Every structure is written in structure tokens, then in C-alpha cells.
Amino acid sequence: MIGDLGAADATELAGLVATGEVTPDELLDAALAAVEARNPALNAVVLVQEEVARRSIREGLPHGPFRGVPFLIKDLGVEAKDFPSHNGSRLLANTRYSGDSAIFARMKATGVVTFGRTTSPEGGIGAATEAAVYGGPTRNPWNTDHTPGGSSGGAGAAVAAGIVAFAHGSDGGGSVRIPASSCGLFGFKPTRARLPDGPYAGEGWAGMAIDGFLTRSVRDTAVMLDACEGADLGAPYWAPPLARGHAAAISRPPRRLRVGVCDTTFTGEPIHPEVAEAVRATARLLESLGHVVEPALPRADVPGMMRAWTDIVAVGTALGIRGALKGRPLTGDLVEGVGRGACAHAETLHPTRYLEAVGEIHAFGRQMAGVFDAGPDILLSATLAEPPAKVGRFSHATEDYVAYRTGPGGIFAYSPFCAVFNASGQPAASLPLGMSGDGLPIGVHLAAAFGQDETLIALCAEVERAAPWAGRRAPVAA
């Protein structure tokens, strides 16, 4: 039975530990065996710390909701004393931390057994995970010619491959939802500041970045969000308080909602026909559940938001790289092309441009708030404009950072939906509701008004019950 636990979610595994059917050491053995068997084809799990995991079991795990369940953290951010990090970069390889970040401390308190990290692109600024520090690209368990997405691509691949039941990720422009869509998983981005950033950072990318999780079930995400939510000491932002919590919210369906459906991009361009049909099929499902469904196209300056996002992330990337260089030259053996291009672009910007771009993001957030105030409770779209891209399409080799993000065929053309809700701060989720004709997952995206996390996750749980996805297994997992 241990060998087939790759099909279970984390809640089920924790239940087996609680009843004594399996031990935390046996689950860790199974996860490590899965790494050995499946990771060579994927390159998703790195920096394995087996002895740290064994020691945490020996010393006594917290009696939290996921006690004894193997867990992986993203190799970007989530600072942890016992888990050195490459942060997706040769420049930052083997970085060590003096203490744990607030988010890691809260995850650890759930009783998970963390045993390593998952791959991320350098700087977290790509929709694919192909960082040079890991010696090759990370591949999709559904088809290894394709990317699992980014920047939490290693997390998505590890969960879809059955190595772990769930994993940590983070999302500054879709970096949880893109891998969720690409790997056939559930990915939820909470309202801005719902989860803590400190003490190592005050905010990520002007408040647009936030942590999250790649899971097989809505309930795993709900319970982990409840365990981790709330501002840390001295946080610059606070999210609106929850009424009951995510786990309580999914215990019953939400009220019947007004759902706006967009089967194009938010600026009206067509998307891949199989992806558009997955959106329309979801609309029909929601209508069958009693929700009021109607076409929608949000009136907001999406191209302007994307330009502001691109400038903010360039400045943030340059700040991180320049600090880590410590006076050394910016060379290709330390920093990949896109990172060097981001630094070059940042240097072309006027000193006031960063604050101007932040102001544009804030104005965009108000536009999106108006969309939901005047129109739907939920906005339904695709997560990506097409099925998962092939490995190499979004390589970081190019130094044209702006074209990489905003040019024809670039990241924003491929992923025109997700970053909208990082900029607005609104909660959004990708649900694994579609499959392409050649067997690749297609995610469908739901978003709600600022602070309405409980309504959104309750709807996600209702959809999961109506159209279960738990039985789908990637070929590498099977």
C-alpha cells in the first residue's frame, strides 16, 4: 500500500498516520523512493535533506493537520534555517539562513515532514522552470517534452508525479496557478497579504507576490491556508479578516453567484480553441449548478498593467542581483540572460519610474475592484492561453527582458490572465478541468473580489465535487 500513496491527498495521508496505518518514516521512505525513481526524468526535486527530515520525526512532530506528511518547499524565498537554497540561481547557490521565515514556521507547525526543495527559474520571472543552476530544465510529468510551468514548476512537477501529495509554491504573476494549470493540479492565490512575507522581506514585487501551494485537492489548500494565514509582526499590509476560515468555507457550497465568462483574453484576442472550450464547458457546469452565467470582458487597462508589472519586476530583480554580486561584474557564468536583461532594462528607467509604476498598479487594482463591484461575483477565464508550452520556448538565454515578457509570443501572450490578479491583489485559482487532445492538462481560472477568498474557495470545492479530478494520473506518476 505504501508504494501507491502517490494517488492520495495530504489530508488522507495524515489520516493514515493518525490511525497508525503508516508511520511518518514510512511515508518519507516512499517519498524518497519516488524521488529516486521519478525525479531523473523530471529534474524537479533538489537539495534533499533526508537527515533533517528524519531528525524532525525523531524529535517529535507537531500535532497539526498534516502530521507526518512529506513536504517540499520551493527553492526561491521561504527562508529556512535547515534548508539551504540556490534560489534558482548560480549567483545565490547554497545560500544559508540564520532562522526560519514566518511562512515556513507556520507550515512546519502543521506537522509536515519537509525533506527538500523544488526547482524554480532564476528570479522567479518565467513561465517555465529551466534554471542553469540545476543542470537542465524541469519537465512535465504528463509529457516530458513540455514544461510544468513556472516559477513553481518544480513543485507542480513533484506533486503531479506523485512524489509528494502537496508542495509549497509562490505566485507573483501566476507562479502557482501556471504550474497548476500545466500539471493538472489545484492552485490558489490568496488576497494580497493573506500570508506573511517576513521577516526577510517586507513585500514581494510591490505587494504583488504571495506564497501558496500546489495540491491535488481543494481541502488540502484550504487547511494549509488556514494554518498559515495572517500578517507577521510588522507587516506593511493586512488582508481583510476571514469570517470562518477556508476549511469551514468549503464545508458547504457558496450562495448562488453571478459568474462572468471570458473565453478570450481580457483584451478580446482569441485563445487556443481547446482552452476556450474548457472555459465554456466550465461555464455550462456552473450554470447547471444554479449559478447565473453571462459573458464578460473586464474594462481595465491590462496592457498598461503589464508594462508597469514588467518595470517593477525589473527593478526588483536588479536590486536582488546587484546586492548578491557584491561588486563582482555581471557575467553570464553567474546570471542568466533574462536576469542580465532585467538589470539592463532597470538601468534605462528614470529614478521616479518605480513609484510611478506602483501607482499604475494601484490604479489598475481600483479598476478591477470596479469590475467586480458593478458586475460579476466571479470572473471565469482560462489560466493560460494555450496548453503547456514545450521545453525551451521560454528559455532564460535571451537578454531581451522586455520582449521576453511583453513581446509577440512572450510570457504575457502565453499567460495573459494570472498577473492581472497579482496586480489587483484579488484571490484567484486554477482548477484542473480540461485536457487537450494530446493529453496535456488545461487549467480554468476563477477570480473573486478583493478579500472574498472564502467565497472563491467554496466555489472551487463545489466544482471539485461536481467534476472530480482526483482520479487523473500523469504518466510519470503511474
At 1 the pLDDT is 44
Q: Which residues contact 372 (CB under 8 A, 6 or more apart)?
A: 379, 426, 448, 449, 450
Q: Which domains does the chain have, with CATH numbers?
A: 2-234+244-301+356-466 (3.90.1300.10)
Given a contact cutoff of 8 angstroms between Cβ atoms, the answer to whether 472 and 184 are in contact is yes
**Could you say which of 85, 89, 120, 151 is catalytic?**
151
Q: State how beta strands 45-46 and 441-448 pair.
A: unpaired
Residues in the chain: 478
Where are any strands of DSSP class E within 3-48? 45-46
pLDDT at 5: 63
DSSP 3-state of 322: helix
Cβ contact 306:420 at 8 Å: no
- DSSP string for 96-165: --SS--HHHHHHHTTT-EEEEEE---GGG--SS---GGGTS---BTTBTTB---SSSHHHHHHHHTTS-S
Angle at 187 between CA 412 and CA 143, to 5 degrees: 75
Q: Which residue(s) pair with 447 in the sheet?
A: 379, 428
Query: Where do we find the cell 481547446?
Result: 274
pLDDT score recorded for residue 478: 81
Q: Which of 89, 152, 175, 381 is catalytic?
A: 175
Which letter, b or e, does each residue of 28-54 get, where b requires 16 or more Cβ atoms within 10 Å of its Cβ?
Answer: bbbbbebbeebbeebbbbbbbbeebbe
Q: Is residue 175 annotated as a catalytic residue, yes or no?
A: yes
pLDDT digits (tens, 9 = 90+) for 123-156: 999 999 999 999 999 999 999 999 999 999 999 9
Q: Is-catalytic flag, 151? A: yes
CB 312 within 8 A of CB 358: yes
Q: What is the Cα Rg of the chain in Å?
A: 20
Count of Cβ atoms closer than 10 Å to residue 98 Cβ: 7
- Give me 311's grid cell: 518595470
Q: In this structure, what C-alpha cell is assigned to residue 129?
A: 522552470
Q: What is the mean pLDDT of each run of 10 residues along the chain (478 residues)?
A: 71 97 97 97 98 98 98 97 98 97 98 98 96 98 98 98 97 98 98 97 95 98 98 95 98 98 98 98 98 97 98 97 96 98 98 98 98 96 98 98 97 98 98 98 98 98 98 92
Q: Identify whether 74 is a catalytic site residue.
A: yes
Taking CA 88 as the corner, what is the angle to CA 315 and CA 119, rounded to the nearest 5 degrees? 135
